[in-house]
Amino acid sequence: MALAVSTSTLGFHRSAQAYQAALRGEAEALQRQVATGERLERASDDPVAAARLRALARADRIAGVEAGNALRAREELGAASDRMDQMASTLVRARELAVLAANGATSAEGRAAIATEVAALRETMLSLANSTSANGEPLFAGQGSGPAYVEAADGTVTYVGTTDAGELEVGPGIAVQRGLAGPAILSFDHAGGPSDAFAVLGALEQGLRGGAGDPAMAARDSLVGLDAAIETLGRGQAVVGTRLAWVDTVETIASQMGESRAVEAADAGGADLAATISRLQQVMTALEASQASYARLASLSLFDRI
């Protein structure tokens, strides 16, 4: 009889302790879910949901790289657009000076002063063409790492960059060129052959300084070249503007896709906080009741019962 009582008592203790341990384990798991907002602690909790969460995490990492590329593209295209706006203003000013120099009423001294300003505008154009991004990358040298243009001792300006500006992956299967090579915005056909803004400005300066027999005629002749330079640059500005708008669109779509993935991840592995907290309260109540009951029963002895 004593053995039966002892065995029964031992079984009761073990059963009560196991039940309480299970409640404590569930309570701790629920507390972690409340703290982290995550329902899954290990893949075995829900293999299908865990696999989907891993796929979503991979997509987020790829999207992060693409977002960085999109930011770089937007910054470099924005910087290129700003420099091109300054180039346009410079060329427009050169055209205004050419019109003034072509006027027969302009004196020789006036044309000499105009030539000096045109020379300064040409240097401004060279400086703008060799601009770099915030990261120090040339904006108009293609994929070259150095200046886009170099000036020889005789004043000749030559493009030394690459023809390809390079692309950046900004979305799934979506790439955008990060800029334009110099010739795309500054080179054009003029007077039956290839030319560029630097050659036109240089010829205008030299013509006004007496390099041409008729400085006024030289100024009038330069207007065709300046118009071609302004038109070519304008096409480049349109291209860069279109790419900037495309990058903005891609970033908007990427943001929406990121929000969609976040919602899907929350549905797949996120904890329902209201339900989790409610269940935690139930488990804690049950645990407290079990501990109180166990304490009362464990304090009783066989003689108390007799």
Higher per-residue confidence, 192 vs 227: 227
Q: Is 70 exceeded by the pLDDT of residue 303?
A: no
pLDDT at 2: 47
Q: Give which of 183, 213, 206, 208 is closest to 196, Cα–Cα.
A: 183
Question: Per residue in 239-284, pLDDT tens?
Answer: 999 999 999 988 888 888 888 888 877 766 555 566 667 766 776 7
Q: How many CB atoms lie within 10 A of CB 53?
A: 19
CA contacts within 13 A on the Cβ side of 270:
11
Q: What is the DSSP string of 106-130?
A: S-HHHHHHHHHHHHHHHHHHHHHHT
CATH number of 57-264: 1.20.1330.10
pLDDT at 45: 66
The CA distances from residue 98 to 10, 84, 174, 175, 231, in Å, are 108, 21, 44, 41, 17
- Of the listed ranges 10-14, 65-69, 170-174, 220-224, the least confidently predicted one is 10-14
pLDDT at 275: 67
Length of the chain in residues, anyone? 306
- Residue whose token pair is 């470099």: 76
Query: What are the residue ranges spanned by the domains of the chain?
Result: 2-36+271-305, 57-264
Average pLDDT over residues 221-246: 95
The CA distances from residue 32 to 27, 41, 52, 281, in Å, are 9, 9, 21, 14
Given pLDDT bands bounded at 50, 70 and 90, which one contains residue 306? very low
Question: Per residue in 158-213, pLDDT tens?
Answer: 999 999 888 888 888 888 888 899 999 999 998 889 999 999 999 999 999 987 67
Beta strands in the chain (DSSP E): 149-151, 157-159, 167-171, 174-177, 187-190, 193-196
What is this structure's pTM?
0.71
Given pLDDT bands bounded at 50, 70 and 90, which one contains residue 302? very low
pLDDT at 25: 66
Host H or E run for residue 197: helix 197-206
